[in-house]
Amino acid sequence: MQTRMLGKTDIQLSAIIMGTWQTGKSMWTGIDDAQSEKAIQAAMDAGITTFDTAEVYGNGHSERVLGKAIGKRRDQVTLLSKVFSNHLAYDQVIAACNRSLKNLGTDYLDLYQIHWPPGSFGAKPVPMQETMKALTDLKDQGKIRAIGVSNFSFDQLKDICALGPVESLQPPYSLFWRHVETDTLAWCQSNQVTVLAYSPMAQGLLTGKFGPDHRFQKGDHRSTNRLFQSDLYPLALKALDELRPMAEEKGITLAQLALAWMIARPGICAIAGARNADQSVGNAKAATVHLSEADLKAMDRISRPVNDLIDDNPVQWKW
């Protein structure tokens, strides 16, 4: 498994990180706890050492399943969690972190992230200075080892980095969703801020498993994802038809091709979810795939018709 340094720290991350949003069940369908535990354990066995979760994923359910699955192997993994936008006041951050530690069955988090910027989803805006003070105090107490942010704009990222050491940014990023490349990616690479790309398989679209008439079950949040709407979805399917021969020639899946594209550049990890053990093993194997410059240029060309139709709104969903 390839590894990346987390920001300016000495914390090692696996290039493929297992994401556990689906493990929380909320906003997903067909998720089974026993299968989730097996998926986490299979990921560890396959070389994935880093796991990303959040308090809001099923109101702590994802954290609890993850903690149970890891069990006595805590010293073999790197744990990342997040505090939601409604818990950014000083005392709320402290309490949320303590809940996450309890859920995960650990006494420290390797990375604790602000999940969404202050004021998101109707939450009362809290000055970033107050939130950073709480995070810094947690770090001084040894409850967290590093601080990161998620879903922050370029300006918000620069503002919070001016207040203290921020080691990572977690944005939506895939071959079909590339807003972060406009300004943010180059700045992160220049300033040693590690990019933890979520939805690198475009919430399953880049796996090629969805046909032209696919409809999500009720309760699956992906039904509101911009890429699955009628203006973009046909173009995405056409691009997948062009990508498929490349994957077949290399003897890999479309999902592995998408993940390999993501981690082909320095300072980027791909957060990949998995419902079962087979998916975890498949995701891990993506770290062994080599893409040439010609491959990367071809993938860029193929994806452009999709990206060129997406507006400036970096949020993937039409909420």
Cα–Cα dist 48/85, whole Å: 28
User: Do 283 and 260 contact (CB within 8 A), yes or no?
Assistant: no
What lies within 8 Å, CB to CB, of 218 at 6+ separation is 29
The C-alpha torsion from 10 through 14 and 19 to 23, rounded to 10°, is -100
Q: Three-state DSSP class for 235?
A: helix
CA-wise closest residue to 150 among 184, 196, 193: 196
What lies within 8 Å, CB to CB, of 72 at 6+ separation is none
Residue 90 is among the residues annotated as catalytic for this protein: no
What lies within 8 Å, CB to CB, of 34 at 6+ separation is none
User: Do 113 and 82 contact (CB within 8 A), yes or no?
Assistant: yes
Burial of 265 (0-12, 13-18, 19+ CB in 10 A): exposed
What lies within 8 Å, CB to CB, of 71 at 6+ separation is none
For 151-178, letters b (16+ CB in 10 Å) and e give bbebebbeebbebeebbbbbbbbbbbbb
Catalytically active residues are 57
